[in-house]
Chains A and B, each alone.
Chain A
């Protein structure tokens, strides 16, 4: 099947820092790719570069057959009918002076999708699909709670009926009891509207729950990608293994078992260099000079399990 999204050797450099460093992946139509990493790993920058909200320094992102980086003017605008974003903080991503109706009407007008009664119908259908009543429409973002605001943020992305949505930490600002509502909503919308997601989060449990396939990012590079079940059952990259070992679980017996497997001491390898593996400095498996000489490429260890490690 032709992928809906194909990212090839995407790099984004800020001053001296490569926030995203030669990242490649595909997303199949209807798939959810979970992108997980710690703060500063470059996952948000990658998400933005994929849909062209940030220009890539090199490499390319092809969404729905169109090269995001070379699109200009109306073609670029047309792309955003198909590719939308949902942000972490729905308050700062919504204009506080616009009512919910105005916020949802604006993209319809901008893209020339609908006006008048037809626009009204779409707006009502979309806000209701996102779990808010039509009575929310004349109100302002400040009148809503965090979870409701995220519903509005999702409705605004959905109103142009995109087929691809980049969701950047869509639930991490929300309270635990509200997170589940939004995760369920995103999953319902996916099946109802045939969406494809790039779902970015730092929470490994959330990523496991929503993703078909997972990509793990560390210091600008993907270190491992695999189907969710495979990645969580048999992580192969030492960084993925460290991440999964580090998360406490809300079950006392399982938690005691987990702690038994944690060594505690953090590894520090002074031999690591900037040219080598990004994880070499913290890796318990690193061998030098192999790991400091050359950064390992992401390569297949099983048909759909890719790992960037010299020794995994």
Chain B
């Protein structure tokens, strides 16, 4: 290995212009398995899925193409539309609230408070639990007979009513509560790391200029933390799209269809309904939404490097 390296290192400059293909040959050879995996497993399977979403495959993939039929049926299905609207509500609320809560907690911890380590662990702890456990915990907390509502009623407030998981209109917010409880600790940690990366001198300069603490955060610090925000954004967005186990554990899509999400639609139609074509069409739509999120991310990243 090192021999190859050595030779290219000498041969490169001798030719005057380094050959881009043979530069760092050993590391390129080492990367081949990963590149192949990425191409075959990720790209290959993605393309396969998209191609078969245009077929009428049932239990087994079959090559009889039916054009856009699966997509027409998908967008005509009320279950899919409910899933999409749930995901939008969950997505927007979870994105905003997780960022706000995460940043606020991080800013509070950053004020050199006592027991910072303890608080940090407490806030981060929910992230160590799986979605299934989180879902089950909150299913009990939100259970009207045994959970929060039951406790408050037993204190004497008989008319108190809080049963989001049993009310079709607001069930998605019951799931949102659990999602935020689980996810905001991680965002807090990332934000805290970002805040710790800010030079002390900035704070001193702001103080000299007489700018208040809150204003310094909003006007100076947050714009400086753009990469941290981009990272958090992508992490939260990925979590939103793949929302599945939390719903399964809390409501399994009910009451009725009111807390269905796209990932459940994909699973149910691929395996329970034995209709691969329909499941593939739905998962292709999910891929499309991921791509829509990824493009701004790549754009932001690219802009960042070209400037720096």
A binds B: no
Enumerate chain B interface residues (CB-CB to A < 8 A): none
Enumerate chain A interface residues (CB-CB to B < 8 A): none
